[in-house]
Structure 1
Amino acid sequence: MTFSVIGRCPETGQLGIAISSSSIAVGARCPWVRAGVGAVATQNVTLPALGSQILDFLESMKLDSQGALDRALSANEWSEYRQVTVIDGQGRTAFFSGKETLGVHHAVAGEQCVAAGNMLASVEVIGAMVPAFENARGMLADRLLAAMHAAMAAGGEAGPVHSAALKIAGDLSWPLVDLRVDWADDDPIGQLDGLWQAYRPQMQDYVTRALNPTAAPSYGVPGNQ
């Protein structure tokens, strides 16, 4: 029903997630990032609260990824229904797939990345994602999307994919990238990639607009000087 990849860029320290699902609006429930702290994908029978809980444990209790994941899962009586991946601000990873995880499922950790999924066409889907991320060039978003395309090329989910999301934190308190395709009958991952290609050349401008409005570029919008 869902597959995802979380990763860290060692050059910039950015943390991010790309995720897709057969369900509507996967980006509203499953990806969680916090600048300098970590990234979490909570999927399968999703408990969104796990995302913020794990990030809180990473930040306030200074736990590593495995410790934060274990603590969050131990506090939840339905943990066997969850599939969760974690990466912390240093690139350390952890993952969990409960015994109630749906269908064919798998999780693989790589160099500063973790991929996981359920209701897959085969375990090779996740196996294809890690090397795709590790070998891809470009920004973190490009590498995350390369892993998603590799997953689809390896068979993707057992059923159709309908939603996808990309979320990345840099060094600001808000996400640097937060793009979503909440429902599409055709190729939501390709549509998400298209959104990223459109957003990438404007990304820094929106940071500038937030931090120093006097230096903000104009986009020709009425009232926008």
Structure 2
Amino acid sequence: MTFSIVATDGVDVGVAVASKFIAVGAIVPQAKAGIGAVATQCYANPRLGSLILRLLESGINASDALTRALGEDQGRDERQLGVVSIKGDAAAYTGSKCPEYAGHIVGSGYTVQGNILVGPEVLENMAKAFETKRGELVDKLLEALSAGDAAGGDRRGSQSAAIIVLRPGGGYLGLTDTYVDLRVDDHPDPVSELRRLFSIWELTLLSREDPNDVVLKSDVALTVQKVLKVLGFYNGDVHGNWDKATEEAFRAWAGFENFENKVRDDDKIWGSVYRYLINEARRRGLLVND
């Protein structure tokens, strides 16, 4: 009923998963920063994931940890698991009673697995997407999940999706290990919705902008003033000069949207922030010449 990918790049560990099942993110993915990650699915037994993570933390490799955990589970014929350690070793298991199509692929630093799939092409496309996509682990996981979804995914349809990526000290204000943690619990197109949510998470919480993706404040001052005036953040004249009042209005809007960490102190705006402002104007039906 589920397809997932578990992976590491040696720093981050993570799981991405989708299913025709309510809130799959509450059941399948488990991970610990600096240790590894596990997906437990089919007739999932989350206790196996917790046990495997403890075994990985003790120094046991992924394959042995998986074998030991399954040895304690009488329902193992109905289980499906994928395991990756921070060292990059990976292992997977598909029980003999997992509903067809069921299977897995183990690669370098990752494993993909699924059951009740339209066919093996779901896993094959996921593996290929993960191996060829450039970027951080989160980008590769999302690409793999999208590839599996595009290939047909769960043959019963779609309902939920989730992604979790852990990085030591990589979370909010450096106070947690949660680099990314998003769930779509019930949606007609959960993988696309997950990607939409990630675009907001990335803009709000991650600091990984392309240094060339900027716009000059002087070039967009008129548009920004028009939009911020309609949105209620700018009360001055719309004259097209980026003055103190415009800067203050822009910062007030950025704070309202939780983008404080994306406000620059020079003559530029991050392209991602500017596009969000324009898209917000369009969403509200404002006519903006940008």
Shift of 1:165: 0.2
Partner of 1:32: 30
Identity of aligned residues (%): 37
1:193 corresponds to which letter in structure 2? Answer: R
Q: Per-residue deviation at 1:31? A: 0.1
Give the aligned partner of residue 178 of structure 1.
181
Cross-structure match for 2:255? 219
1-side partners of 2:96 and 2:121: how far apart?
20
CA distance in 2, matches of 1:127, 1:192: 21
| Cα distance between partner residues in 1 of 2:38 and 2:178 | 14
Residue deviations 1:159-186, cap 9 Å, x none? 11100000011013542211000001x2
Larger RCO of the pair (alpha carbons < 8 Å, separation 6+) = 1
The structure where helix makes up a greater share of residues is 2
- Runs (4+) of structure 1 moved beyond 3 Å? 218-221
Q: State the distance in 2 between where 1:80 and 1:8 align.
A: 27
**Residue 199 (structure 1) aligned with residue 208 (structure 2):** no
Partners of 1:6 and 1:203 lie apart in 2 by: 23
Alignment of 1:83-102 (within 5 A): 83-102=80-99
Q: State the distance in 1 between where 2:61 and 2:132 align.
A: 26
Per-residue deviation at 1:219?
Answer: 3.2
In the TM superposition, residue 111 of structure 1 has moved relative to its aligned partner by 2.2
2:15 is paired with a residue whose SS is strand
Displacement of 1:51: 1.1
Q: Which moved more, 1:16-25 or 1:133-142?
A: 133-142
Q: Cα offset for 1:138?
A: 1.7
Give 3-state SS (helix, strand or coil) of 1:3's partner.
strand
Q: 2: CA distance between counterparts of 1:6 and 1:160?
A: 22
Decide whether the 8 Å contact of 2:18 with 2:160 is kept in 1. Answer: yes
Q: Structure 2 matches for 1:150-169, cutoff 5 A?
A: 150-169=147-166
TM-score normalised to structure 2 length: 0.68
Q: Deviations over 1:44-95 (max 9, x none)?
A: 00111111110001102x1000011111110111111100000001110000
Which of 118, 126, 131 aligns to 1:129? It is 126
Determine the structure 1 residue equivalent to 2:270: none
Q: Secondary structure at the match of 2:117?
A: coil
Aligned residues: 207
The correspondence of residues 14-53 of structure 1 with structure 2, limited to 5 A, is 14-53=12-51
State the shift of 1:220 in Å: 3.4
TM-score (norm 1): 0.87
Secondary structure, in 3 states, of the residue corresponding to 1:176? strand
5+ residue gaps, structure 2: 170-175, 208-253, 261-290
Q: What's the counterpart of residue 102 of structure 2?
A: 105
Q: CA deviation digits over 1:82-137, x for unaligned, max 9?
A: 00000001110000011111121110012211100000001111011111001001
Is 2:90–2:108's contact at 8 Å kept on the other side of the alignment?
no
Partner residue in 2 for 1:210: none
Deviation at 1:203, TM superposition (A): 2.2
Partner of 1:73: 70
Letter in 2 for 1:87: V
Q: Which residue does the alignment assign to 2:288?
A: none
Partner of 1:146: 143
